Structure formats: C-alpha cells, structure tokens
Copies of this chain bind each other. A is one copy, B any other.
C-alpha cells in the first residue's frame, strides 16, 4: 500500500534522480543500446562503488563484526526440490490480468475500480492503475462519468476495490486502464514469478529448475552443512548477499521493483522455546539503526506490522521497516518470525534431519528463525533519494546559482576524497598534488580531477557526493611562506567550508571523520 505524498513534487524528484544517475554513472538501463530490457538495470562506476559500500558495510556489521553470525554464498540455481519444499513452485504467484484489446498486461491488485452510484443506483464503473491518490482520482472519474452521461442526482462516494475482488458479473463492466472501455479485461489468473531454466544438455531430458527468487533458501538448505563445521551454537545466524530473480508482471519505480536484484538476508536460528518476540524486536531495532548508519533520515522511516490474520499460517509475526520514497511509503526491510516452517519443510522433502542438539538443554529440536531480509537496490534507491538536495548558493562571482549535492553518509559515498591541483599546467602543483593523491589512495577511494576551475570541480564532486576535496595551491608549495607550506585546502561538501590542513594530517583526519 502507498500513502499520500505530494503528487506535484514526486514525479520531478524521481525524474531528477534518474537523470542524475545516468549522467553521473550511478545507474544505467541494462542493454540500453538495444532499447533496454524491462526490469533490468546496470550500475555505472559510481553506482558500483555505492553498492559495494552498502554490501561491505552490511557484511562488516552483520558477519565480521559479530560472533554469532556466519556468512555463506550459495548458488543461484539450486535443485528444483528446494522450491517445492519452500512453497515457491506452488504459491509464488502474482494475479495477472490481460486487456484483450490493447494487449497490455497488468497486475490485478494494481487495478482499482469502483461502481459509480447515483441516487443509490449503479450507473457504470470507473477504474485506474493505483497511484498515490487512488480514491480521489476515482472520485474525479466518477464525476466525469456522471457528467458525460448527463445523469441527474446525488453521486455517492466511490468504494475502491482492487481487481482481484471483482465478481464475475463485474469483470465485463470494469473499464480497462489501457483503453478506458469495459469488456476487454480477462479474469485475474495466477502467474508464477520464478524464472525457469533447464540444466543439462537437452531440454527434453534435462531437469527444469529455477533462478532463485530469494537467497534465504540457501541458508536453510545448507543449515546442516554449516552445523557440521562446528562453528556455530544456537542462537546464531547464517547470512548471505546475492542476486535473486523475480519475473515481475510490472517492474516499476526505477530500481525499486526490478526483475533481477540483490538481497542481503540473514536467518537467525533460536531455540524452539526462546522468546521469539524479544529476538524479533532485537532485529527490527538492529536493522533500523543500521539504516540510520548509512544515512537514511529517521523522518523517512516507519514500521508496519502485518496484520496477524493476513500472515501465512506458520508465521508468528512480520514487521516491515518502511521508507518514504517519492512514489510512496514502501517496504524496505522485512523482519519475519517464521517459526520452524522452512527447516521442517526441508526435513520433510529431503528426508534429512534438521534437528539441532542443544548441549545445555540436553535435547534435540528444530530451531525457529527470525529473518531480516532487505534488497540492496532498494537501500541504494533510498540512499539516493535521501542524499539528493538542491540548494541556492552564491558562486565566486557573487551570482546566485543552484547547487545539486548528494549528501551521502561518508561511509557509503562512492568517492571519499577528491584531489585537485589548482592549475593543471603548473608542473610543481601537479607534482605535489600527485603526491597527495598517492598518499590518500591506499586508504580511501580517491579521485583525481584537474579539469576546469576549482568551483566547477566542487560542483562536479557535489553531484557525486564526495565528502571532501583537497586542493593543492601555491601556498602548499610554500610560496606564501613556510607556515602554509605542505598544507592543503580541505573543503567540506555539506558546509562548503574550507580548512587549511597539513598534508601529514590528512589520512588520520579523514579516517577519523569516516568513523563517526
């Protein structure tokens, strides 16, 4: 579900971010020279660094920095039985609707419709694709219909339902969102979102299997193998970062809902009689704080508790950490208490025991699990959205100008520091600047820039979110006397303040800022 954000603001913001992502090399459309492929995205030089920083930050905090979580990497293509056991072969579906006249395809739960009722009588139906203000827009459409049909009387408020709730009698009466005319929509039918492929030399004989729709089953399938290494003791977690694939009917919202995406999932195994609510809360808080640590503002984050009656039978509770994207408040990180369902299913389908022998309790049991699952691409988009800012500033000539600045948290910024020689055609400046560059590069992702004037270089670095720029000028060379010799100007992206720093102090200073 989406909330009501300001409709006038949001499309331009997303458009600006998408344009900046392409221009600066954060995100490209996959296979763009061939017209693209719907639902697939590439990460350019800055995007690849940003994503790597997100992954590395999570791995450091979740795996390397904890005694009780180990990391693994499992294959994208697994034995097909895995997906029978997990329930994905049977139930990983979305309801799909075709419009027979336009040949367009929709997710049934994204088509909203309502009868148009005047003086208690249904005079027609209106429909639309879900937006931030579905109810208001449907009401407008109902008004228009009433006016067009020149019907007198009192128009009642619309009662929006999604198309999965349409009765067989209503289906032919609901207008297609593609054509505006009723009669062309098919009933909703289930579509399995797993990508299929065949392993082995001949299609007919070989085994059909799937690209994983989630990384989590890798942790469950390898649970016993990890136990057998003797490295873990309940409570403990198994974590993984990797690509997953879902054949979405309608991929949309840039990198938010794509068909190929990257997940960071962790399965935290606890005793069957442990207090799962305590652990559930623990992991919700952990995830929330981690999101703050990569620069997401608390103002954009919220919690959504799934209603008990809507959960799967085995689920004890699911809480989503939501983020306010420009296109609405959407799920960012799901923290699910899944009981012992997954391990029990694999025990049942494989015949392998999934029991853990608890030495303290002196008994065997199938552990329960808490699963925090998040998409790297969704975090990346949330970070891009949170970082984007436009400011009116004054340039060196005193003229007002708009500055676009990506206020990335330093720990995820693709480039940590840029090094500028004041002038590119003065060899002593360039030489000294190269020294500084070589000093910083082993410690931080460092960029060299000697193009144009310093003001332009600052703007360029601002747009890619570089927290610090070091300029080597004539003072650095000692031309204004020994007290400024071997110092550089260090400019802060956010305050735009410039400080004179000794070259020898640069590495510890920046390292210190990165830690805070």
Please indicate the chain B residues that have their CB under 8 angstroms from the CB of A51 in the complex. 73
Is A259 interfacial (CB 8 A cutoff)? yes
A23 near B: Cβ within 8 Å? Answer: yes
Known: A72-B48, A82-B31, A191-B201. A40 touches B229 (CB 8 A): no
Assembly CA distance A42 to B22 (angstroms):
35
Are A201 and B243 closer than 8 Å at their CB atoms?
Answer: no
How does the 8 Å CB contact mask read for A337-352 relative to B, with 1 for contact and 0 for none? 0000000001001111
Given A28-B222, A42-B72, A73-B42, answer yes or no on A247-B448 (Cβ-Cβ < 8 Å).
Answer: no
Q: Does A225 sit within 8 A of B, measured CB to CB? A: yes
Give residues 14-37 of A contacting B (CB, 8 Å).
22-25, 28, 30-37
Contacts A25-B226, A72-B45, A226-B44; A37 near B260 (Cβ below 8 A): no
A352 partner residues in chain B, CB cutoff 8 A: 33
Chain A positions 170 through 199: 1 when the CB is less than 8 Å from some CB of chain B, otherwise 0: 000000000000000000000100011111
Interface size of A by CB at 8 A reads 81
Choose among B96, B196, B260 the residue that contacts A75 (Cβ–Cβ < 8 A).
B260
- Identify which of residues 183-231 in chain A touch chain B, using a CB-to-CB cut-off of 8 Å: 191, 195-201, 209, 211, 218, 221-222, 224-226, 228-229, 231
A30 close to B75 (CB less than 8 A): yes
25 contacts between A and B (CB under 8 A): A23-B229, A25-B231, A30-B75, A32-B221, A33-B352, A37-B79, A43-B73, A44-B72, A44-B226, A45-B226, A47-B72, A47-B73, A48-B71, A48-B240, A51-B73, A52-B59, A65-B442, A77-B245, A196-B197, A196-B198, A199-B259, A200-B247, A201-B247, A211-B211, A243-B243
